[in-house]
Amino acid sequence: MLGLTKLASGPGNVAIAERPEPRPAPGHVVLDVVAAGICGTDLHIHDGEFAVVPPVTMGHEVAGTVAELGDGVDGSWLGVRVVTETYFSTCGECKWCSTGRPNLCRERRSIGTHVDGGFAPRLVVPVTNLHRIPDRLNAYAAAMAEPLACCCHSLLDPDRVGDDERVLVIGPGPIGLLAAQVARSSGGHVHVRGTPADAARLDVAGALGFATSTTAAAAPGEFDVVVECSGNAAGMAFALETAARGAPYVQIGLAGKPVMLPFDLVCFKELSGTSGFASTPTSWARALELIESGQVELEPLLSEAVPLEEWERAFAATRAAAGIKQVLLLN
């Protein structure tokens, strides 16, 4: 079986390579992967800026069908369309695991970074990680359930946005457009901001019903909550500057390197810096609820489903912020 693999640490060292055929251990299933989303993290992994345990098949935003069951797995799972949480294993005992925060477990091993992920036709995951997806949701869009769960973790656990609060989302990429929809589901009035190069993405934000602006325009006032999804120093500085006094500053974007920021504003305005690393079981439940209820739409964010062999083109498009979300097609 061929999979897109991080072969060794450092920049590059990514190629399609022969990978071990997955076998389901007890309590695990093999998924036929239909689609797996390309995430900013995958670019950081490609560039050697995000720690992984090579050689490892990349891909952690997975939608597929249950194809094989390990011992002890309920037979009703066979053939079910699913998305999967990303933790392959955690210690289950530390203070983080025992308080519903397995994302912070030091022993955490995730698909696509520590164990083989979804940029291959098949992968094995614990059955406890699976979530059924609605019939009407296409599997390409369903691969975005994972980044949606990450946004739910950052914005809903605990709730950062209150009814009628003004929310600024910086960076209209896939994470920004998911975060904007989550913030709106909490009652926020959301403004999405990008650069002039983001025109097409801001058009999608507009079509989803959000107010938008670009850095070519003046700051649109102060915001009760600022959500930074660009991972860009200028975006972070702008978020600190436009946050109202006492506001939460939510950092979701990753810079991949140290950045210079006017951090005194955290003090002068008593901002509370918050974030969320990856996702938790609670945030997955919230994500699936938002998809089921139609409060979050995934399809408008899907730009292209690209065959695995053309991964370089899809990675380049993601890097160039062309379109919104590229997913790789595996089956």
- The contact set with Zn ion (CB under 5 A) reads 39, 41, 90-91, 94, 97, 105
According to DSSP, the β-strands at 14-18 and 211-214 are unpaired
Q: How far is the CB of 106 from Zn ion (least distance, A)?
A: 7
Q: How far is the CB of 39 from Zn ion (least distance, A)?
A: 3
**Residue with Cβ nearer Zn ion (90 or 230):** 90
Q: Are strands 272-275 and 302-307 parallel, antiparallel or unpaired?
A: unpaired
List residues bridging with 81 in a β-sheet.
65
Reading phi first (left if > 0) and then psi (alpha if -120 to 50, else beta), residue 131 is in: beta
Of 94 and 211, nearer to Zn ion (C-beta) is 94
| CA distance linking residue 244 with residue 126, whole number of Å | 43
Nearer to Zn ion, 20 or 92 (CB): 92
* Minimum distance, C-beta of residue 168 to Zn ion, in the bound complex (Å): 22
Contact (Cβ atoms closer than 8 angstroms) between residue 46 and residue 34: no
| C-alpha to C-alpha distances, 213 to 85, 118, 191, 205, nearest whole angstrom | 34, 36, 8, 10
Q: How far is residue 63's CA from residue 139's CA, in Å, rounded to a whole number?
A: 6
As a residue count, the chain comes to: 331
Of 90 and 242, the one with the shorter C-beta distance to Zn ion is 90
- For 285, other C-beta atoms within 10 Å of its C-beta total 13
Least spacing, CB of residue 86 vs Zn ion, in Å: 8
Decide whether 24 or 102 has the Cβ nearer to Zn ion: 102
With beta carbons less than 8 A apart as the criterion, state whether 262 and 240 touch.
Answer: yes
For Zn ion, give the closer residue by CB, 39 or 145: 39
Minimum CB–partner distance for residue 94 and Zn ion (Å): 3
C-alpha angle 182-185-191 in degrees, rounded to nearest 5: 70
In angstroms, give the least distance from the CB of 105 to Zn ion: 3
